Structure 1
Amino acid sequence: MAHAAQPVADAPGQPLALHVNDLSVARGGVALLEGLSFSLTAGSALVLRGPNGSGKTTLLRTLAGLQPALAGSVSVPPDAIAYAAHADGLKTTLSVAENLRFWAAIYGTGAVAPAMTAMNLTALADRPAQNLSAGQKRRLGLARLLVTGRWLWMLDEPTVSLDADSVALFGNVVRAHLGRGGAALMATHIDLGLPQAAVLDLTPFKARPGTVGADGFDEAFL
């Protein structure tokens, strides 16, 4: 029988860290990865690599708490994770500034101007999100990370729809986050210019054929 990963809270006063131990994950009832272990600490970044369908998105969703694991343990401090997936998560009728103020209120953080400056959105502050280009929407979606106040950024192909200048801009944002003691776990094939980033190839952790996923669970409903 499949078992959900057991959360293990970090002890008070311990350094911020993500610890993954012997983790197995599945999608649509089919096991994708098994026996995966790694750690991520303050100031560090880890890039997930592997072919399409190898389980990168499923792993990120599992670690973000959006679906159960088959087995293993995940240790991460409470309220540590900001997850950015393929959708930009925007309210289309709100302006750029209003979208960021909405998310800042959700997370209980402060001013949004620094986030707009960091992602080159200041000139677009009053423009409704529905009138933005695909690249501008992506920049706004990524700017949300800066108003979460969260320590660990989990990013699934964050540079989709971004041109080269915007990719470089986002690379600067991630480097600044790491410099402040944050951490980043991302699935991307784009070089963001992060010399401290390690690479984890998921190919060796492919689940054995016939491994059964979670009974009756379909993450499509989450």
Structure 2
Amino acid sequence: MSLLAVQDLAVARGGLRTVEGVTFDLEAGQALILRGPNGVGKTTLLRTVAGLQAPVAGRIVMPEDCLAYAAHADGLKPALTAAENLTFWAQVFGGGGTDAALAAMDLTALAHRPAAALSAGQKRRLGLARLLVTGRPLWVLDEPTVSLDAASVARFAQVLVAHLGQGGAALIATHIDLGLPQARVLDLTPFRARPGSAPATRASGFNEAFA
């Protein structure tokens, strides 16, 4: 089953095209890793797929309410505990329970600690645990392993493998080898916008929220 089809996509940052002519699809059980040098447009492409800004050209096709997006911001409410943060997101998305998500990211012992008292790595793990309570099959992830130590990276890779094994899919911008046997790699370098390409003409905007 196709969860995402991107056709001849062009995206822009600051009114200038970054990449264009990007085409790919993702089916249930698949992961696609975006690669390329800093500034090539990986984050802009992910934001566009997530619906946080409009594409300049091309089409993005996916089932309704299938996507969960995790960006650089952890999207936590500092005054809420780890468990309360996950409960909040589960209610927003109508997803599953929080206990399994806490356990998956090794946060059970921290369930009642306010998010403000967590370390950077713990906050990142909690931000990623939100994916598990959304009930969404398509995960769009921008450098998800930032602030994680090696053990936490390995733990998140296991979470990803399990998600794919259950019929989910993932679109990920990362320079880290997550060891995903199902993953394909798409280097965006060949898709850099050509000098003199038409500027962005569709309205664009940005929202850092977890969508």
Q: TM-score, normalised by structure 1?
A: 0.91
Deviation at 1:17, TM superposition (A): 2.3
Distance of aligned partners of 1:108 and 1:220 in 2 relative to their CA distance in 1, 3 Å threshold? closer
Question: Is contact 2:137-2:169 (8 Å) kept?
Answer: yes
Of 118, 121, 135, which aligns to 2:121? 135
SS state of the match for residue 130, structure 2?
helix
- Runs (5+) with no aligned partner, structure 2: none
2:25 aligns with: 39
Q: Which runs of 4+ in 1 moved over 3 A?
A: 215-218
Question: Is contact 1:97-1:126 (8 Å) kept?
Answer: yes
Number of residue pairs matched by the alignment: 208
- Runs (5+) with no aligned partner, structure 1: 1-14
Deviation at 1:210, TM superposition (A): 2.4
User: In structure 1, how many angstroms separate the alpha carbons of the residues matched to 2:204 and 2:116?
Assistant: 31
Deviation at 1:216, TM superposition (A): 7.9
Do residues 112 (structure 1) and 98 (structure 2) align?
yes
1:150 aligns with: 136
2:194 aligns with: 208
2:12 aligns with: 26
SS state of the match for residue 141, structure 1?
helix
Do residues 190 (structure 1) and 190 (structure 2) align?
no
User: In structure 1, how many angstroms separate the alpha carbons of the residues matched to 2:28 and 2:204?
Assistant: 33
User: In structure 1, how many angstroms separate the alpha carbons of the residues matched to 2:207 and 2:195?
Assistant: 25
Deviates more, 1:157-166 or 1:189-198: 189-198
Question: Is contact 2:142-2:173 (8 Å) kept?
Answer: yes
Q: CA RMSD in A?
A: 1.3
Deviates more, 1:209-218 or 1:43-52: 209-218
1:6 aligns with: none
Q: Percent identity?
A: 66
Deviation at 1:109, TM superposition (A): 1.9
Of 56, 65, 70, which aligns to 2:56? 70
| 1:108-135 deviations in Å (ceiling 9; x for gaps) | 1231000000000000000000000000
Question: Is contact 2:34-2:42 (8 Å) kept?
Answer: yes
Deviation at 1:220, TM superposition (A): 4.7
Do residues 57 (structure 1) and 43 (structure 2) align?
yes
Question: Is contact 2:32-2:183 (8 Å) kept?
Answer: yes
